Amino acid sequence: MSQTKISKKYKANPKLVSLVVLLIALPIFLNAVVITPQTVGDASNPASVAEICSSTTASNSLEEDSESCDDRTFRSEQPVFGWSLILHMIGGSMMMLSPAINLNSDILRRQRKVHRFSGYTFILGGVVAGSSALIMTLVSPDRFEPFNVFTNLLWGSLMLLFPLLAFRSIRKRDIASHQAWMIRAYAVAAGPAFHRIFSFLEPVIGDFGISVLAVLLGELVIRKVRL
């Protein structure tokens, strides 16, 4: 008589899961905190950007300052791009921070309303971050390298789609599928953070490879880890 082999999953410590999520989110969140206020100013006050950057050019500033002014001028002259970037950073921060609650099984058991609210925050963040990434790429494709246009459309679409699939699953009371799609969505959103953490791999597998690595690690968690 054949016996079905049951694969065992490693039970993750809920506090450790939350800590790891927060550490991964930290560079993305800090980047958003620094860039968002400036981007809001650039998009809402183009005249100020023109004045600042003209004085920068006149004073023969460093090349990196000129590159910064190029970005700021573009955002101020293309308000759809600028405001989409702002929404992308806000939505991305929502996706990166909320899993510290979503993926914590202790909170799920003891504070279901908190878990539910955090889940809705994550899904909303995915819709905002994914759709804004698509808008930025579609309205200003010349701003990106051809391959980056492809990757932006790919990851933006997945960032939008996976949270919606997670929402559909929980509406059907399919808990396992819901958790799997939430982890996949988080893995896609964590790609930029992985670029910083695993920057030493960039010469070997490139930025796209690092993003794929994040997705593969997400699949490994789904199959081998019990949250």
What's the DSSP call for residue 6? P
Pair 129, 54 in one domain: no
Tell me how far apart the alpha carbons of residues 65 and 60 are, in angstroms, rounded to a whole number: 10
Has residue 1 been placed in a domain?
A: no
Dihedrals phi, psi of 7, to nearest 5 degrees? -75, 135
Closest CA to 120 of 182, 77, 76, 59: 182
The whole-angstrom distance between residue 125's C-alpha and the CA centroid of its chain comes to: 9
Residue 4 domain-assigned (yes or no): no
pLDDT for 33 equals 87
The number of domains in the chain is 2
Contact 120, 101 (CB under 8 A): no
CA distances from 213 to 100, 108, 119, 202 (A): 21, 28, 24, 11
Q: How far apart are the first and last CA of the chain?
A: 33
**What pLDDT is recorded for position 20?**
95
Of all helices (H) and strands (E), which one includes residue 36? helix 14-44
SS3 content of the chain, % helix, strand, coil (to 5): 85, 0, 15
- Whether residue 50 lies inside any domain: the answer is yes
- Tell me, yes or no, whether 196 lies in a domain: yes
User: Do 92 and 55 share a domain, yes or no?
Assistant: no
Of the candidates 46, 40, 179, the residue with the CA atom closest to the CA atom of residue 122:
179
Residues in the chain with pLDDT < 50?
1-6
Does residue 96 lie in a domain region?
A: yes
Query: Residue 34's pLDDT is what?
Result: 85
Residues 159 and 126 in one domain: yes
119 lies in the same domain as 147: yes
Domain coverage including residue 29: 11-36+79-226
Cα 10 from Cα 26, distance rounded (Å): 26
- Residue 143 domain-assigned? yes
Q: Residue 10: beta bridge partners?
A: 225
pLDDT for res 4: 43
Report d(CA 158, CA 181) in Å as an integer.
11
Of the candidates 202, 204, 222, 195, the one whose C-alpha atom is nearest the C-alpha of residue 24 is 195
Same domain, 146 and 202: yes
